């Protein structure tokens, strides 16, 4: 895995750019996808250290994307932060996402989740 690569799967350009800028400033390489299918393809091609996935994408839900990631050897171990406005049903479903981040999200919490998951991934890959 690449230690400092984050794949952001977000269809809102303003949110995607904000998150990309924040992660870039924190020293991450950021890949972007605005559709679940493209996010899945980029995950397969680049094996990012962490993914941020919006649960409401135009072509599939974030949960559908996560299910597809977890079914493939190349992508099943990528840590995922699921960003969702419907947190009550999702916050306890740790079998799907490594973390759930409610919207609107706190920038510091987002960065903490990414850092912790990237660190955990680099330790387990060593």
Residues 65 and 8: beta-carbon distance below 8 Å: no
Query: What's this model's pTM, rounded to 2 decimal places?
Result: 0.87
Return the DSSP state at 46.
Answer: H
**Cross-strand partners of 82:** 53, 100
Per-domain residue ranges for the chain?
A: 5-125
Q: Among the CATH numbers 3.40.718.10, 3.40.50.300, 3.20.20.70, 3.40.50.2300, which is that of 5-125?
A: 3.40.50.2300
Query: What is the mean predicted confidence (pLDDT) over 35-57?
Result: 96
**Coil/strand/helix, residue 73:** coil
- Read off the pLDDT of residues 67-121 as tens digits, 9 standing for 90 and up: 999 999 999 999 999 998 765 454 444 457 899 888 888 899 999 999 999 988 6
């Amino acid at each position: 895995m690449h230690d400092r690569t984050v794949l952001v799967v977000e269809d809102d350009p303003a949110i995607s750019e904000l998150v990309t800028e924040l992660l870039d400033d924190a020293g991450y390489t950021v890949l972007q996808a605005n559709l679940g299918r493209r996010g899945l393809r980029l995950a397969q091609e680049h094996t990012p250290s962490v993914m941020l996935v919006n649960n409401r994408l135009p072509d599939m839900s974030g949960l559908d994307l996560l299910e597809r990631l977890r079914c493939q050897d190349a992508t099943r171990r990528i840590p995922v932060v699921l960003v969702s406005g419907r947190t009550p049903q999702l916050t306890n479903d740790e079998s799907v996402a490594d973390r759930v981040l409610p919207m609107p999200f706190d920038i510091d919490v987002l960065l903490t989740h990414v850092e912790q998951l990237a660190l955990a991934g680099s330790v387990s890959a060593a």
